Amino acid sequence: MPNMRVITSGLEFPEGPVVMRDGSVILVEIMGERLTRVHPDGRKETVAKMPGGPNGAAMGPDGKIYVCNNGGFGWTDINGSWIPGPVKHPADYLGGKIQRVDIQTGDVETVYDRCGAFELNGPNDIVFDRQGGFWFTDPGKRRARDADAGAIYYCKPNDGGIVEMVHPMDRPNGIGLSPDEKTMYAVETPTCRAWAFSLSAPGVIQPPAKAYRRDKGLVIAGLGGYQMFDSLGVEASGNICVATLVKGAITVIAPDGKIVEQVDTGDHMTTNIAFGGPELKTAYITLSGKGQLVAMDWPRAGLPLNFLNK
């Protein structure tokens, strides 16, 4: 792959990259069950052990890294790549949680493990709004014969409580906010669809006037063929850049749903993208099949993230 620099290898299913101001990248290793800091020279340092399945991460208003923990996967080696699936024994699943990590001490604290009557299943990706509230996806867990319905949650600022905002969805994964924070984007894995939800206020969804069923948002894009969406990063332009499985690419989708481009990455299990570097024009991408964190020069700048870049 031209324009691709391997920052580090040997990562045990990397995800949730957060590009820090000092140039290091903090990310999770789902199979490795840890929060890891990757230094620019490729050196890896464990920030915290995170039993279960740390799946997504974002910098919070308090300087702590907030982590979606999916409770754990079972792993199968298929053609040299570790593929996540249902846990092999029920006791291996530790339950879904939102946690926060003090990156100086490595202390891990659970913030939420349920919403009302229901336990969280498998939280995946997370984004903070400028008020300090955050949205996260929960694709649910798959078991041998059945699977949870997926959901999107909103957590109010200052540990103000958790609300289930959209349920059911088909395994929602990546989540992000438009530059003006009036739209929340969530992408579904098996259906390879990108949904846009109108926000009438922080944490408040305004459903569309007319929907096919009782959809609370609109599908802005659905890739055909056999591809699936994983996590995403947003550009300053408002484009959403979605890690695309099977195809092994980043799919760039304009706010009106048009496909701008697909940038091949060479890994079927391309799982996430985050922006950093000068002018936020470096894309850091987690290649989970190869176990690598790579960097690519990006033609357009990433969107500054709350509490991280601004």
Partner 1 sequence: MPNIRVLATDLEFPEGPVAMPDGSVILVEIRGQRLTRVYPDGRKETVAQMPGGPNGAALGPDGKMYVCNNGGFTWTTVNGRNVSTAAASDYKGGSLQRVDLQSGKVETLFDKCGEFKLNGPNDLVFDKGGGIWFTDLGKRRARDMDMGAVYYVKPGLKEIIEVVHPLQPANGIGLSPDEKTVYVAETPTARVWSFEISGPGQIAPVEVIYRGEKGKPLAGLGGYQMFDSLAVEANGNICVATLASGCISVIAPDGKLVEQVPTGDVATTNICFGGPELKTAYITLSGKGQLVAMDWPRPGLPLNFLNK
Q: Which residues are near partner 1 by CB under 8 A?
A: 76, 78-79, 83, 85, 118, 140, 142, 145-149, 168, 170, 190-193, 210, 212-214, 219, 221-227, 245-246, 268
Residue number, 140 or 233, with CB nearest to partner 1: 140
Residue number, 36 or 271, with CB nearest to partner 1: 271
- Residue 178 Cβ vs partner 1, minimum distance, rounded to whole Å: 20
- Residue 304 Cβ vs partner 1, minimum distance, rounded to whole Å: 31
Which residues, 6+ apart, have CB-to-CB distance to 29 below 8 Å?
A: 11, 12, 13, 14, 15, 36, 54
Residue 285, beta-bridge partner list: 273, 294
Residue number, 189 or 239, with CB nearest to partner 1: 189
Q: How many CB atoms lie within 10 A of CB 106?
A: 14
Query: Is 176 in contact with 127 (CB distance < 8 Å)?
Result: yes
Residue number, 27 or 223, with CB nearest to partner 1: 223
Q: How far apart are CA 48 and CA 37, in angstroms?
A: 10
- Residue 192 Cβ vs partner 1, minimum distance, rounded to whole Å: 8
Q: Structure tokens of 216? A: 């609370």
Query: Is 125 in contact with 188 (CB distance < 8 Å)?
Result: no
- Residue 112 Cβ vs partner 1, minimum distance, rounded to whole Å: 17
Amino acid at 136: F
Q: How far apart are CA 98 and CA 93, in angstroms?
A: 15
- Residue 290 Cβ vs partner 1, minimum distance, rounded to whole Å: 15
Residue number, 45 or 119, with CB nearest to partner 1: 119
